């Protein structure tokens, strides 16, 4: 008598394949939604003669995880549609997740830096439109400083730049803080050239350490004032 493979064992590869297909679908749809969300944020603030930089790496990761979990719940609702008790429990978990996570998603991308011909507007993380735009004549000075991470400091990786704007009303902001949306070298150069264009005074708190000889680094060029104003926005 030939050996018969149990039905449950026959179904296992199919279940595994279905789960794999579902997981891939959730990932692809989450990725597309993530790209669309970022694109919508950028186009909403896209205007001529202005720079808009939003979010941090942590913000992007959080939003992607949120979309993954959101789609997981939606797919699970479809799967459990014929099991009312399990569906009810899953729905309660989803409501708790959504009520907690959705406001954080909005706050993640309300963390932005906006530079226009009129002035600069920095909205920190966990602040909902809390700050007004600061006009260029309201900026008292830009202060450049650094913190030493590794001794002796030889390259840009051994230093942490402090890029602080002081305003005439007494307020200050470090554009290189942990939650700042400004974290790419190219973005720093763009903002710095705009500040030079509007003749914002620059104060260097202290020279770079003698051991620091990374002349090609952004920090070295910044402290030695090798950048020129951005004239392309005139």
pLDDT of residue 141: 86
Encoded tokens for 167? 């305003």
- CA–CA gap between residue 27 and residue 154 (Å, rounded): 42
- CA–CA gap between residue 30 and residue 52 (Å, rounded): 24
pLDDT of residue 233: 43
Encoded tokens for 234? 């005139």
pLDDT of residue 22: 82
- Does the pTM surpass 0.75? The reply is no
- CA–CA gap between residue 23 and residue 26 (Å, rounded): 5
pLDDT of residue 101: 87
- Do β-strands 119-123 and 112-115 pair in parallel, antiparallel, or remain unpaired? antiparallel
Digits of tens for pLDDT over the chain (234 positions)? 455 555 555 556 777 777 788 888 888 888 898 888 777 766 666 555 566 666 667 777 888 888 999 999 888 888 888 888 888 888 888 899 888 888 887 777 666 777 777 777 777 665 555 567 777 878 888 888 888 887 887 877 888 888 888 888 888 878 777 666 666 677 778 788 888 888 888 888 888 888 887 788 888 887 877 677 654 444
- CA–CA gap between residue 224 and residue 97 (Å, rounded): 50
- CATH number for the domain whose boundaries are 116-223: 2.30.29
pLDDT of residue 1: 47
Domain ranges of the chain: 7-109, 116-223
pLDDT of residue 202: 86
Full 3-state SS string of 201-216: CEEECCCCCCCCCCCC
Burial class (CB in 10 A: 0-12, 13-18, 19+), 128: exposed
pLDDT of residue 51: 65
Give the Å distances, CA to CA, from 132 to 113, 129, 135, 141, 188. 12, 8, 9, 18, 21
pLDDT of residue 136: 80
DSSP result, 71-90: HHHHHHHHHTTT-HHHHHHH
């Amino acid at each position: 008598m030939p050996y018969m493979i149990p039905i449950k064992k026959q179904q296992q590869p199919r279940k595994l394949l279905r789960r794999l297909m579902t997981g891939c679908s959730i990932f692809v749809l989450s990725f597309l939604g993530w790209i669309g969300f970022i694109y919508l944020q950028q186009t909403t603030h896209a205007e001529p003669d202005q720079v808009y930089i939003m979010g941090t790496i942590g913000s992007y990761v959080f939003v992607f995880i949120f979309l993954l979990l959101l789609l997981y719940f939606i797919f699970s609702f479809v799967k459990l549609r014929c099991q009312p008790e399990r569906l009810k429990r899953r729905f309660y978990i989803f409501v708790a997740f959504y009520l907690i996570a959705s406001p954080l998603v909005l706050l993640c991308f309300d963390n932005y830096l906006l530079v226009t011909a009129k002035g600069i507007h920095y909205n920190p993380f966990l602040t909902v439109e809390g700050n007004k735009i600061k006009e260029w004549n309201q900026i008292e000075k830009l202060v450049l400083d650094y913190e030493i991470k590794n001794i002796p400091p030889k390259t840009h990786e051994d230093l942490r730049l402090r890029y602080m704007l002081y305003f005439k009303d007494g307020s200050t902001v470090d554009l290189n803080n942990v939650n700042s949306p400004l974290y790419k070298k190219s973005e720093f150069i763009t903002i710095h050239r705009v500040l030079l264009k509007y003749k914002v005074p620059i104060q260097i708190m202290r020279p770079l350490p003698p051991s620091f000889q990374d002349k090609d680094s952004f920090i070295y060029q910044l402290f030695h004032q090798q950048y020129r104003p951005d004239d392309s926005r005139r």
